[in-house]
Amino acid sequence: MDTIQQANAEQIALWNDTAGRAWVETQETLDAVLAPFEDLLVEAVADRKAQRVLDVGCGTGSTTLAIARRLGPKGTAVGLDISQPMITLAKQRAEHESAPPRFIGADAQTHAFEPASFDMIVSRFGVMFFDDSVRAFANLRRAAAPKADLQVIVWRSAAENPFMTAAERAAAPFLPELPARRPDEPGQFAFADRSRVHSILEKSGWTAIDIEPLDVACTLPASKLDAYFTRLGPLGRVLQQVDEQERSRIIEAVRAAFAPYVHGTEVGFTAACWLVEAQA
How large is the average pLDDT for residues 133-155? 98
Residue 240 lies in a domain: no
Residue 48 lies in a domain: yes
Give pLDDT tens digits for 154-202: 999 999 999 999 999 999 999 988 877 887 789 999 999 999 999 999 9
Residue 66 lies in a domain: yes
C-beta of residue 222 within 8 angstroms of C-beta of residue 262: yes
Residue 185: which CATH number?
Answer: 3.40.50.150
Host domain of residue 16 = 3-157+181-216+272-279
Q: What is the model's pLDDT at position 274?
A: 98
Least confidently predicted of 1-5, 94-98, 132-136: 1-5
Residue 232 lies in a domain: no
Q: Whats the size of the chain, residue-wise? A: 280
Q: What is the model's pLDDT at position 3?
A: 41
Determine the Cα–Cα distance for residues 200 and 204; give it in Å rounded to an integer. Answer: 6
pLDDT band at 1 (very low <50, low <70, confident <90, very high): very low
Total tally of structural domains belonging to the chain: 1
Residue 246 lies in a domain: no
pLDDT band at 2 (very low <50, low <70, confident <90, very high): very low
Residue 251 lies in a domain: no
pTM: 0.94
Residue 244 lies in a domain: no
Give pLDDT tens digits for 5-34: 454 788 889 899 888 999 999 999 999 999
